[in-house]
Amino acid sequence: GAGADNDLYINQAIVFIEDAIQYRSINHRVDSKSLWLYRWYYSRTCQWILSLTITVILALAFIEEPSSLTVTSDVRYRLPAWNPPCGLTESIELLCFLVFAVDVSVKSYLIGWKEFWKNKWLMAYILTLIVSLADWIVSLSFFCKESVRIRRILRPFFLLQNSSMMKKTLKSINSTLPEMASVVLLLAVHLSLFTMFAMLLFARTKDNQQDKEWVVYFRNLPDSLTSLLVLLTTANNPDVMIPAYSKNRAYSIFFILFTVLGNLFLMNLLTAIIYNQFRGYLLKSVQSSLFRRRLGIRAAFEVLSSLKETPASAQQSCVSVGALLQVLQKAEMDSRCKQAIMRSLKMCSCDQLSAAQFQKLFEELDKDAIKQHPPSPEYQSHFMQKMQFAFGHPCFGYLGNVVALANIISICVVLVMDADKQPSERDDFFLGAINCFFILYYLLEMLLKILAMGLKRYLSYPSNIFDGLLTVILLILEIATFAVYGFPHPGWRPEFMGLLSLWDMVRLVNMLIVFRFLRIIPNMKFMALVVTTLLDLVKNLRAFAGILVVVFYAFAITGIMLFKGAVVPLGNTSVGPMNSWNIGPTTSMTLLKKKVPSWCSACSQAGIVYCLLYVLSVHLICRWAKIYFVAWWLISSVIWVNLFVALLLENFIHKWDRRCQRESLSGIEYQRTVELMFRDVLEEPTEEELMEKLHQHPHLQLCR
């Protein structure tokens, strides 16, 4: 009937508007039941469960069998890690797989059969699930004793497929690959030609004293290749040059040519290529988000205009205000936006809305939320007003900064003086006394500020929250110290008591004080600009970080599988394939303690991009390790760092260009989003584009 139809239209409009708010695609089924399923699937609870499942399945690696999650990473000292009984991690995994199965079926159903066949990500998702399940069954049938677990390498895929941003970024990276491959090929040609040159130049001579270069770095083809590859990472520079240079200065020309061509030109060419590819990347992605939003709103308009209440006689389609109000009440959106739209709907006296008016109403979504701080309290007493003026003044804040600086300097002085003292000689009285004074001042400052601004206004500034929180923590620590160890006095050197020693307490307090010093940042203009740029960057980098996690995870798991058991404690050094470690060119003593697997997990779990450079420099003889580390260097260090630089350049240059513009508005604080940064550059989609896209919708049949 017409009523049911109307309900359907209203529901469709609600979902489309929610799609627009979340920048989602509207290409999903639009019948009543599917709409209910869709809203359920995208409800906060469901998405939260999905994220939790992904986190859990990724985190499993930390407790699974060859895990290295122990306090120390040193194989000589560490206790055997906890080994979960067979079936525990497996049953958790099965639960996760079930959630993923539900996820993939709901997703496939919602986009419809036809679209499903076009969607390679969904098919890969199903394939991954099937392979993982098969591997899981194999695992259980071997009672968890099997050596290779393919499903562990496949796990990061679940993270990848869940984020549309990541998929888009990956596509973008993918389109740069041919050019990157050309540069990498060029690097390879460069490397091989120079290797041949080096082998001819530093050949074995009859005089054994003279060919140090040959012995250490250019003994044979793999050695020479490795030496020069490591030189490309600059890790063995200038070690590799020293023997030849001390023989004849002219040899340095070879190394200089190699470094300049390889490092300065070819490596930076990679940066240029990647930057060139990503120059429009942010703008493009924001532009497509805008298109999705406009499309969602237009789709909502179209379905609402087919409601039966609309007078059929109207020349152009329009929407009644009542229907829109109904939709707005049911749609989930930011309450501030909802109120603003309601308000402007009431102010507009007309009964029917055209498409343009409809779009205009929802422009509220694109606007900055102007952050208003609550007013200061108004005091009656003249004295209080004066107090308020004095302590609400910026100068009081500057005074606080100066005091914090003084505190830092005093800590620094004490540290320098105590540097060479034995722990037993150390006298904690001085530091305890001055810290006590400074913390009292911080408390006073906080209280006076609250008095001047009122609690609400005080808490509306993030810098005050940071400040206040640290002050409270410091106060609690200080009170705890005094409660346990008594008040400081000269020669104050109490015994160890309770959870932490006095010395640890004092160190913790000092670290917090150093951390609290960061409150000066918003007071320095250039620093504030840099910090806001970096924060923006972090927002935009989420997709990249996700891909990085995927790559790190895959590398870590591969590394653990490849090098399992390759490292043994220092006692018996000659066991396993890693006994060639001690051939390394610079030293052997310190390097023996470095272990590939713990390094893999350290590098990978942690995220140091450069840590490989040094590991490579010790000339892993083991072939696999070499290939593994070169791949790791290329992907994590070269390509990812260049991607990062490209994004940073993009972001920073945008921000920099707009700096002057912003300074004029400095009175008002905006809650800025990425979308807003580009607002003046974005193009509004035309009505024709929107309608064409709407008519291509696989499930929605529009009347006109």
Residues 8-27 interacting with a copy of itself (rule: CB under 8 A): none
Tell me the closest approach of the beta carbon of residue 524 to a copy of itself, in angstroms: 9
Does position 430 interact with a copy of itself (CB under 8 A)? The reply is no
Minimum CB distance to a copy of itself, residue 177 (Å): 13
- Residue carrying structure tokens 């206040």: 468
CB closer to a copy of itself, 556 vs 615? 615
Q: Kindly state whether residue 539 participates in binding a copy of itself, applying the rule CB under 8 A.
A: no
Closest CA to 651 of 672, 628, 625, 677: 677
Binders of a copy of itself among residues 631 to 660 (CB under 8 A) are 641, 644-645, 648-649, 652-653, 656
Among 25, 91, 590, 686, binds a copy of itself (CB under 8 A): 590
CA dihedral 567, 568, 569, 572 (to 10 degrees): -130
Q: Does 586 bind a copy of itself (CB under 8 A)?
A: yes
Cross-strand bridge partners of residue 320: 352
What's the rounded Cα separation, in Å, for the pair 270 and 181?
10
Is residue 415 a contact residue for a copy of itself (CB under 8 A)? yes
Minimal distance in Å, beta carbon 227 to a copy of itself?
A: 14
Q: Can you tell me the distance from the alpha carbon of 698 to that of 25, in angstroms, rounded to the nearest whole number? A: 12
| Three-state DSSP state, 610 | coil
CB of 182 to a copy of itself, least distance (A): 4
- When binding is defined by CB under 8 A, the residue of 130, 272, 348, 627 that contacts a copy of itself is 272
Among 42, 197, 441, 461, which residue sits at the site for a copy of itself (rule: CB under 8 A)? 197
Give CA 664 to chain center in angstroms.
32
User: Binder to a copy of itself among 32, 43, 47, 587 (CB under 8 A)?
Assistant: 587
Compute the least distance from the CB of residue 322 to a copy of itself, in Å: 53
Q: Does 254 bind a copy of itself (CB under 8 A)?
A: no
Q: Give the residue with the Cβ less far from a copy of itself, 71 or 312.
A: 71
Q: By the 8 A CB rule, do 699 and 30 touch?
A: yes
Task: Mention every residue, 6+ apart, whose C-beta is less than 8 A from residue 437.
Answer: none
Amino acid at position 543, single letter:
A
CA 352, chain centre distance (Å): 46
Pick between residue 145 and residue 206 the one whose CB is nearest to a copy of itself.
206
Helices 321-330 and 281-305: crossing angle, nearest 10°? 120
Query: CA dihedral in degrees (5, 9, 12, 16; nearest 10)?
Result: 170
Say whether residue 661 binds a copy of itself (CB under 8 A): no
If the CB atoms of residues 124 and 415 are measured against a copy of itself, the closer one turns out to be 415
Q: Does 175 bind a copy of itself (CB under 8 A)?
A: no
Interface with a copy of itself, residue 246, by CB under 8 A: yes
State the Cα–Cα distance between residues 629 and 555, nearest whole angstrom: 10
CA angle (518, 522, 528) in 5-degree steps: 105
Q: Among 126, 215, 242, 337, which residue sits at the site for a copy of itself (rule: CB under 8 A)?
A: 242
Burial of 283 by CB count in 10 Å (0-12 exposed, 13-18 middle, 19+ buried)?
middle
Q: Which is nearer to a copy of itself, 196 or 575 (CB)?
A: 196
Of 214-233, binders to a copy of itself (CB under 8 A) are 219-221
Give the range of 117-125, 408-416, 565-573, 574-582 binding a copy of itself by CB under 8 A: 408-416
* Least CB distance to a copy of itself at residue 199 (A): 5
CA 391 – CA 384 distance, rounded (Å) = 10
The distance of closest approach from Cβ of residue 409 to a copy of itself in the complex, given in angstroms and rounded to an integer, is 10
* Residue 273 found at the interface with a copy of itself (CB under 8 A): yes
Which of 263, 317, 326, 352 forms a contact with a copy of itself (CB under 8 A)? Answer: 263
Among 25, 119, 205, 523, interactor with a copy of itself by CB under 8 A: 205
The answer to the question of residue 466 lying near a copy of itself (CB under 8 A) is: no
Does residue 412 belong to the site contacting a copy of itself (CB under 8 A)? Answer: yes
Please, are residues 462 and 531 in contact by the beta-carbon 8 Å criterion? no
The answer to whether the beta carbons of residues 98 and 117 sit under 8 Å apart is no
Q: Decide: is 463 part of the binding site for a copy of itself (CB under 8 A).
A: no
Helix (H, G, I), strand (E, B) or coil at 460: coil
Figure out which of the listed residues 182, 329, 385, 580 binds a copy of itself, where binding follows CB under 8 A: 182
Q: How far apart are CA 663 and CA 652, in angstroms?
A: 16
Q: Assess 275 for contact with a copy of itself (CB under 8 A).
A: yes
> What CA–CA distances, in Å, run from 235 to 120, 231, 238, 535?
41, 6, 8, 31
Helix intervals (H) in 348-501: 355-361, 382-392, 394-418, 429-453, 455-459, 462-485
Q: In this chain, which stretch among 136-144, 375-383, 482-490, 608-616 interacts with a copy of itself, using CB under 8 A?
A: 608-616
| Residue 193 or 479 having the CB closest to a copy of itself | 193
Binding to a copy of itself by residue 615, rule CB under 8 A?
yes
Q: Write each residue from 62 to 91 as x if it is in contact with a copy of itself (CB under 8 A), else as -, in one continuous string.
A: -------xxxxxx--x--------------
Q: Residue from 611, 630, 634, 691 that binds a copy of itself (CB under 8 A)? A: 611
Full DSSP string of 335-358: HHHHHHHHHHHHHS--SEE-HHHH
Given 101, 104, 184, 186, the residue binding a copy of itself (CB under 8 A): 186
In Å, what is the CA distance from 474 to each residue of 396, 516, 599? 21, 10, 37
Q: How many residues bind a copy of itself (CB under 8 A)?
A: 101
For a copy of itself, which stretch binds (CB under 8 A), given 21-29, 321-329, 571-579, 586-594? 586-594
- Binds a copy of itself (CB under 8 A): choice among 343, 507, 539, 658: 507
Part in contact with a copy of itself (CB under 8 A); list of ranges 254-262, 338-346, 382-390, 395-403: 254-262
User: Which DSSP string corresponds to 275-329?
Assistant: HHHHTTHHHHHHHHHHHHHHHHHHHHHHHHHTSTTS-TT-SS--EEHHHHHHHHH
